Amino acid sequence: MKKDRQYNEEFKRALIAQIDSCAISKAAASRENNISPSLIDRWRQHIHEGRMQSCPTAWERQLERELDRYKKELGS
């Protein structure tokens, strides 16, 4: 079974910046990183539309819930 790879936001933004500045072609980026061109197109679209946001980790979500609870306890 093929394992899904995950790329962080910094990697995605750097790769798209290289492609947008013509430092590397989309085809070359795809080959070098073993990523499908359609995935690169999706990343580019998300970045240019402002939809590329890193998702909070489980730990960050837990901290947010704790913070909300403390705010309620303090009446803030």
Residue 59 lies in a domain: yes
Residue 49 lies in a domain: yes
Render pLDDT for 7-49 as a digit per residue (tens, 0 to 9). Answer: 888 999 999 999 999 999 999 999 999 999 999 999 999 998 8
Residue 44 lies in a domain: yes
Phi and psi dihedrals of 18, rounded to 5?
Answer: -65, -40
Cα 33 from Cα 35, distance rounded (Å): 5
Q: Is the pLDDT of residue 2 over 60?
A: no
Report in angstroms the alpha-carbon separations of 41 from 7, 51, 53, 62, 66: 15, 13, 16, 33, 38
Residue 15 lies in a domain: yes
How many domains are contained in the chain?
Answer: 1
Residue 18 lies in a domain: yes
The pLDDT score that the predictor gives to residue 69 is 93
Residue 2 lies in a domain: no
Residue 1 lies in a domain: no
Render pLDDT for 53-70 as a digit per residue (tens, 0 to 9). Answer: 666 778 888 999 999 999
The whole domain housing 22 covers: 9-74
39 in helix, strand or coil? helix
